[in-house]
C-alpha cells in the first residue's frame, strides 16, 4: 500500500497521466546491467534481452535470470544497475583525461559508469560519507577494474575545503526519499513520510553547496535523485540557483527525458522501461580556478620490479605509492590528500610479505593479459573449482592470471605440479 499523502500529491502532479502512472507501478519492473567498456566487446549472453536507449553499454535482461551468480559478474564484465539510474552519467558526459568527482557515490554504479567513459584516463574521485557504504563502493570499484579512481569517506564540505574549484565535472546523485524506487524496494515505501521529503531537501541543499565549491569555472554539475518530490527536485535546483548566481542551467533534449525548468528533466516509469528519476544539468560560468598541490610518487620496491619482469605487465600512466606493506598505483595529477579519509588510494598492486610480493586481486581484475595466463570456459568444471578455492592441476610455475573466456578473474601460483589458489577467501562460493 502506497502512502495516501504520496498518492494525493502525485494525483495533483500528474493530472490526466496519473492512472497510467499507477498502472506502471503494478507491472513487473525492468531489470538491467551495464557492460564494462575496458573488457572489450560485450559477450553474447542468453539472458540479455535488449538495449537501454540512453546508455550504449546498458542492456536489459530477463527477470528470471540471476546474472549476479555468473562468473562474468565476478570478473567485472558487467555491473547490475537499474536502467534509469544510468541516465545521469549520460548527462554528465565525462571525457577521458578530465578530473571528475562523484560526490555521493555508493554503491558505485554511477562511479564505475563514469570510469568506463573515462577509459582509464584522468582522475576520478568517488566519495561516500557513510563508512559501511564506502567499503561497498570501494569493493565495486575494485571489481570493475577501475585504475584511475580514488575512494574517500568524507563529508562533502571537507572535500570542498581541500579541493576548491578543481574538478571539471561533479555528479551529485543525492540521497533522497526514494519515491522512484517504490516498485523496486519495499523499504522505500515504509520509510517514506512528508517529513522525510523535507529533511532530504535540506540535506540536498547542503550537498549542492559543496559541489558548487568543488567545480571549476566552466565545469558541469549534474544533480540527480530517484524521487518524484518537487521539493527535492525542481525546488532544490531553484533554491540552489537563487543562491549561486555563478551557475546557469543547460537545456536537456532527448526523447526519453521529459524536460522541465532550470535545465531539469524527468524519467517516468509509465513512459519507459525503468524507474523514476530526476536530473538537472548546470554550468558554472563564474569563479576563479585554484592551484592544488600534487602528491609525489615513489619508486616501488624490488619485489614489484621482479614481478613485472616475470609477468610482462605494463601499467597505465600514473605513479606508485606505498601504504604500509601495500602498493598502489595512482593516476597522474593526483592531488595532495593528506588529512582526508582515503579508503582506496588507487589501483592496488599487491602486498609485500617479507621479501616477496603477493599481487592484489584488484590488479588481476584490471589486467587483460600477462605472460603467464590460463583460460577456462565460464561454465567449465575447472573454473567452478577455482571460484570455490580449489587448486588446479596445471604444470606451471610462478604467478598465473586465471581467466574465464578471456576475462581475468583472479590469481593462482604454480609450483610445477599444481596451481595454488589465490582467489580471495571472502569471495569464494
- How many CB atoms lie under 10 A from the CB of residue 300? 22
Residue 171 pairs in a beta bridge with 102, 222
68: preceding bond cis by omega (within 30 degrees): no
Residue pair 344/305 in contact (Cβ under 8 Å)? The answer is no
How many Cβ atoms are within 10 Å of 12's Cβ, its own excluded?
Answer: 8
3-state secondary structure 118-168: HCCCCEEEEECCCHHHHHHHHHHHHHCCCCCEEEECCCHHHHHHHCCCCEE
317: left (phi over 0), alpha (psi -120 to 50) or beta: beta
Which three-class secondary structure string do you get for 51-117? ECCCCCCEEEECCCCCHHHCHHHHCCCEEECCCHHHHHHHHHCCCCCCEEEECCCCCCHHHHHHHHH
What are the CA-CA distances from residue 186 to residues 87, 189, 232 (Å)? 23, 5, 20
Q: Alpha-carbon distance 141 to 149, whole Å? A: 8
β-partners of residue 281 are: 222
Whether the CB-CB separation of 402 and 424 falls below 8 Å is answered with no
Among all chains, which residue has been given the C-alpha cell 534481452? 49
Beta strand 78-80 with 31-35 is antiparallel
Report helix, strand or coil for 363: helix
Q: Would you please indicate which residues are annotated as catalytic (active-site) residues?
A: 226
Q: Which residues contact 41 (CB under 8 A, 6 or more apart)?
A: none
Amino acid at each position: 500500500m502506497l502512502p495516501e499523502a504520496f498518492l494525493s500529491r502525485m494525483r495533483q502532479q500528474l493530472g490526466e497521466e496519473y492512472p497510467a502512472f499507477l498502472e506502471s507501478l503494478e507491472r513487473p519492473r525492468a531489470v538491467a546491467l551495464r557492460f564494462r567498456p575496458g573488457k572489450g566487446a560485450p559477450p553474447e549472453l542468453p539472458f540479455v534481452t535488449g538495449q537501454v536507449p540512453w546508455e550504449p553499454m546498458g542492456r536489459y535482461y530477463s527477470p528470471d535470470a540471476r546474472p549476479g551468480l555468473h562468473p562474468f559478474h565476478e570478473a567485472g564484465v558487467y555491473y547490475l544497475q537499474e536502467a534509469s539510474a544510468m541516465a545521469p552519467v549520460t548527462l554528465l558526459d565525462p571525457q577521458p583525461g578530465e578530473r571528475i568527482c562523484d560526490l555521493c557515490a555508493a554503491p558505485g554504479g554511477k562511479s564505475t559508469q563514469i570510469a568506463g567513459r573515462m577509459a582509464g584516463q584522468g582522475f576520478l574521485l568517488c566519495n561516500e560519507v557513510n563508512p559501511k557504504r564506502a567499503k561497498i563502493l570501494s569493493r565495486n570499484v575494485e571489481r570493475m577494474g577501475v585504475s584511475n579512481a580514488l575512494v574517500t569517506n568524507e563529508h562533502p564540505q571537507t572535500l570542498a575545503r581541500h579541493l576548491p574549484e578543481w574538478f571539471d565535472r561533479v555528479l551529485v546523485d543525492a540521497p533522497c526519499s526514494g519515491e522512484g524506487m517504490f516498485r523496486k524496494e519495499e523499504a522505500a515505501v515504509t520509510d517514506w513520510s512528508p517529513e522525510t521529503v523535507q529533511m532530504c531537501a535540506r540535506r540536498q541543499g547542503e550537498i549542492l553547496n559543496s559541489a558548487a565549491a568543488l567545480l571549476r569555472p566552466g565545469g558541469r554539475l549534474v544533480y540527480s535523485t530517484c524521487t518524484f518530490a518537487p521539493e527535492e527536485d525542481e525546488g532544490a535546483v531553484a533554491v540552489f540557483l537563487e543562491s549561486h548566481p555563478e551557475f546557469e542551467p543547460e537545456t536537456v533534449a532527448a526523447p526519453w527525458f521529459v524536460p522541465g525548468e532550470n535545465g531539469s528533466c524527468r524519467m517516468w516509469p509509465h513512459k519507459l522501461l525503468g524507474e523514476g528519476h530526476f536530473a538537472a544539468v548546470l554550468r558554472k560560468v563564474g569563479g576563479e580556478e585554484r592551484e592544488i598541490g600534487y602528491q609525489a610518487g615513489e619508486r616501488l620496491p624490488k619485489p614489484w620490479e621482479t614481478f613485472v619482469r616475470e609477468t610482462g605487465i605494463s601499467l597505465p600512466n600514473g605513479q606508485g605509492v606505498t601504504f604500509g606493506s601495500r602498493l598502489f598505483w595512482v593516476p597522474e595529477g593526483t592531488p595532495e590528500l593528506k588529512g582526508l579519509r582515503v579508503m582506496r588510494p588507487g589501483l592496488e598492486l599487491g602486498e609485500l610479505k617479507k621479501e616477496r610480493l603477493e599481487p592484489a586481486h584488484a590488479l588481476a581484475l584490471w589486467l587483460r593479459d600477462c605472460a603467464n595466463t590460463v583460460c577456462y570456459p565460464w561454465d567449465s568444471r575447472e573454473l567452478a573449482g577455482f571460484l570455490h578455492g580449489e587448486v588446479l592441476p596445471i604444470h606451471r610455475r610462478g604467478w598465473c592470471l586465471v581467466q574465464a573466456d578471456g576475462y581475468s578473474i583472479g590469481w593462482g601460483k604454480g609450483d610445477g605440479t599444481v596451481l595454488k589458489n589465490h582467489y580471495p577467501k571472502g569471495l569464494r562460493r
